Chains A and B, each alone.
Chain A
Amino acid sequence: MTTNTTASQTSSGDVSYLSASYGIKSWLLTLDHKRVGILYLIMTTVFFMVGGLFASLIRLELLTPQGDVFEADTYNKLFTMHGVAMIFFFLIPSVPAVLGNFLLPIQIGARDVAFPKLNLLSWYCFMVGGTLATFAIVMGGVDTGWTFYTPYSSTYSSYYVALALSGVFINGFSSILTGVNFLTTIHKMRAPGMTWFRLPLFIWAQYATSVIMILGTPVVAITLLLVALENLFRIGIFDPALGGDPILFQHMFWFYSHPAVYIMIVPGFGVISEVIACFARKRIFGYTFVAFSSLAIALLGFLVWGHHMFTTGQSMYAGMVFSFISFLVGVPTAVKIFNWTATLYRGSISLETPMYYALGFIGLFMLGGLTGLFLSTIAVDIHLHDTYFVVAHFHFVMVGGMVMAYLAGIHFWWPKMTGRMYHEGWSKASALLIFFGFNLTFFPQFVLGYLGMPRRYHVYPEEFQILNVMSTAGASILAVGYLILFAYLFLSLFVGRKAGPNPWRAVGLEWEIPSPPGPHNFDVTPIVTKEAYAYEEADVTRFGGNANDAEGEQIHQEEGAEA
């Protein structure tokens, strides 16, 4: 990677995107992709806390077999809010909208995304949607579960459901517009010399995610709109009394919601590639395979949605088709795990906090992914559907996987985004607490599900109590881990050590500009001549010269001239 930005431009005299303008208007009307990323960071964190609060209440109720803390109806509202907040307003935006928005243009050498105003609109759609949905649920009307299954949501529940659905619908536009923006930016705004196979794998992952966002989200949008209309006007599409088919809703809902889980995880895969390469000081093994596997997951992910419906009334033959394809979709993911492992082999591994999270990710995601194979097997799923086994499965991939990947990314790029380092000791302690707390929370749930405890119930048979108590204990530890994390990250903004442009000695265009970056990212357009993860070269050169300016050729170029 070559650029003109030299070490001298990292001096604190330069204007950064944070200090370029002040005042609330400059943030709420910003067209800078980095500021939009920070806006998303703040609000997704808020929704994470809201979702976490409801999770705590759920675990509190489940400490005892009786329903002694909440009424059944209230409990239904709790897990609905937990699911809606976590999935639609935290997980789906997390890596794409926070890290993607911040890093994508920089990693490809652009000044901003293709459509900055659309980017800001995305954030407002997210805000409006989130507010509406939260309001509807907090006002106490939505107890359908985040899956909004009909005919309950369309015929028998309150009008607040329609309001919550409107919120999710509007939030869908946030996803769609982000996808359109990212896709166009990656295609059209790469710097000279940044060919497709020199792109960081994070960008490949964002590309695949954008495809899913564009093609999948509109289907759930129209589905939820139809349910809202039926809820308000009793039009009868999903009402069995009129000949409607509730399974049609499930088909249409899961056609998006399964690819949605890939929207949630594939960006995380991108983060892990970046972190592993840096902290193993090695290029990612099998770069091309990892790049294409993201696309394969995006494609295959659209073909498997029926595996959520094996027991609900789908035809058995359709189930067999979906089951078979679901086995196939594990293959590209396994390809990634193998390649990351091969990258680690004989790498020069250093255990910084991002690496803690990345290694934790590989183990936990693999466990979660393998249990997905259990669930894809129809004969086994007959017993495990709607039990805690499913709950454990998706929490392993989403929390043990995605949240850990997100935290790896946050810890990796925090110095770049804020110009500050966090306290290393606290961050490692918190990572260990989170890892331990997570396992204690969710591993017992596999056993519970296997033993037959159903999900979404606030009461359970006595014999399941010990495992539930373990789970709640784990959740408490997990909560403490997260709280410590919020604390040291927040404090680092004020008292953290100032970070230079490249505290991790990483390779990538984002590490060649100041921390935090200037408003237009690059003073002159970079020219790219090296592959994405030239770690061996960077380290070899380091012994002979300064790491910041001796990597290969330097081509000076005035802004705007021909490449």
Chain B
Amino acid sequence: MSSNAQPVALNHQFEDLQQQYEAANMGMWAFIAQEIMFFGGLFAGYTVYRFKYLGAFIEGSNHLPIELGALNTAVLIASSFTMAMAVRAAQQGAKNPLLRWILATMVLGTTFLVIKAFEYADKYHHGLLPGSSFEGSGQLKIFFSFYFAMTGMHALHMIIGLGLIVWLIPKIRRGTYTSEYYSPIENFGLYWHFVDIIWIFLFPLLYLIGRDPWPIM
């Protein structure tokens, strides 16, 4: 990875592109570590209340549409796949496949949010939005507080991710990313995969608590 002239993409504080690439990667992982702790606070509060109020959590979980949750999980996993393919395309310097895969990621991400919106609207109609007009016990309200806080924070991160894709697309079309310089795509990919991982944990923790067993088992 050496050229005689300074590559356009090299920032002045770095010696070469390799150092810049490694630094950007490390910075992104450090950021992800703090994101883990950020969501971790919510997981911690959730753990405490699930321990204390298991009954209310089971009741709350059974209110949630498992089929939509499972569908959303599949959608996000697919979007992680398309994102990984996008990063590979970027590594190969293949501009058009990169564009297609990242647009696919965007479509899948948007699908997720649409499904989520339907879920939220349904909760609203059943009076399950935590706040002064909640219809249910205090302990159930705590479950739904965590449901909305955790999925809401997750959705916010998805929206930010989609916004970043919108910001990346013109740069991709201009050919900014080559096989020598594709850090932003790779690091965005790390962010996107992380958001997917959060959902991978949210799904069983919120949707699959104490589900009524099938009668034949």
Contacts and interface: CB of A to CB of B under 8 A. Distances in A.
A and B touch in the complex (CB under 8 A): yes
B30 interface: yes
B1 interface: no
Contact of A245 (B23, B48, B145): B48
Interface stretch (A195-203, A215-223, A402-410, A493-501): A215-223
Interface string B144-160: 01101100010000000
A242 B42 contact: no
Nearest to A188: B23
B41 A219 contact: yes
A116 B38 contact: no
Contact of A242 (B15, B26, B39, B141): B141
B145 A236 contact: yes
B34 A222 contact: no
Given A184-B27, A252-B45, A218 B38 contact: yes
Interface string A117-151: 01000000000000000000000000000000000
Contact of A222 (B31, B42, B139): B42
Q: How large is the interface on B (under 10, 10 to 19, 20 to 34, 35 or more residues)?
A: 35 or more
Interface in A209-237: 214-219, 221-223, 226, 229, 233-237
A416 B138 CA distance: 60
A237 B23 contact: no
A503 interface: no
A176 B27 CA distance: 11
B138 A241 contact: yes
B13 A215 contact: no
Contacts of A248: 45, 48-49
Contact of A215 (B11, B15, B37, B139): B37
Interface string A87-121: 00000000000000000010000111111101000
Interface string A228-263: 010001111101011111001001100000000000
Given A112-B13, A218-B38, A560-B15, A235 B141 contact: yes
Contacts of B11: 116
A233 B45 CA distance: 18
B146 A237 contact: yes
Contacts of A223: 41
Contacts of A237: 45, 49, 142, 145-146, 149
B3 interface: no
Nearest to B149: A226
B180 interface: no
A180 B27 contact: yes
A187 interface: yes
B130 interface: yes
B65 interface: no
Interface in B34-59: 34-35, 37-42, 44-45, 48-49, 52-53
Contacts of A432: none
Nearest to A183: B30
A179 B134 CA distance: 41
B131 A235 contact: yes
B91 to A, nearest CB: 21
A235 B148 CA distance: 10
B12 A252 contact: no
A233 B131 contact: yes
Interface string A517-530: 00010000100000
A237 B146 CA distance: 8
A184 B30 contact: yes
B180 to A, nearest CB: 18
B146 to A, nearest CB: 7
B82 to A, nearest CB: 27
A187 B34 contact: no
Contact of B26 (A116, A188, A560): A188
B17 to A, nearest CB: 13
A189 interface: yes
Given A110-B13, A111-B12, A218-B35, A233 B130 contact: yes
A206 interface: no
Contacts of B134: 236
Interface in B119-167: 130-132, 134, 137-139, 141-142, 145-146, 148-149, 153
Given A243-B53, A252-B41, A560-B15, A114 B23 contact: yes
Interface string A159-197: 000000000000000001001110111011100000000
B96 interface: no
A113 B31 CA distance: 16
A189 B18 CA distance: 12
B34 A176 contact: yes
Contacts of A560: 15
B5 to A, nearest CB: 12
Contacts of B45: 226, 237, 248, 252
Interface string B1-22: 0000000000111110001001
A214 B131 CA distance: 32
B70 interface: no
Contacts of A111: 12-13
A245 B137 CA distance: 15
A556 to B, nearest CB: 18
B149 A115 contact: no
A116 to B, nearest CB: 7
Given A222-B41, A229-B149, A252-B44, A180 B31 contact: yes
A179 B29 CA distance: 12
Nearest to A214: B34
Contact of B34 (A105, A184, A217, A233): A217
Nearest to B42: A222
Contacts of A113: 13
A181 B28 CA distance: 10
A20 to B, nearest CB: 14
Nearest to A33: B13
B169 interface: no
A234 B27 CA distance: 37
Nearest to A249: B45
In this complex, which of A218, A233, A239, A252 has the most chain B Cβ atoms within 10 angstroms of its Cβ?
Answer: A218
Nearest to A219: B41
B107 interface: no
B130 A219 contact: no
B13 A116 contact: yes
Given A218-B34, A243-B53, A244-B142, 7 more contacts: A188-B23, A215-B37, A233-B130, A237-B142, A242-B138, A242-B142, A245-B49
Which 6 pairs of residues, A with B, have the shortest CB-CB distance? A242-B138, A218-B38, A222-B41, A112-B13, A218-B37, A188-B23
13 contacts: A114-B23, A180-B27, A181-B27, A183-B26, A184-B26, A219-B37, A219-B38, A222-B153, A235-B148, A237-B149, A241-B138, A242-B138, A242-B142
Interface of B: 11-15, 19, 22-23, 26-27, 30-31, 33-35, 37-42, 44-45, 48-49, 52-53, 130-132, 134, 137-139, 141-142, 145-146, 148-149, 153
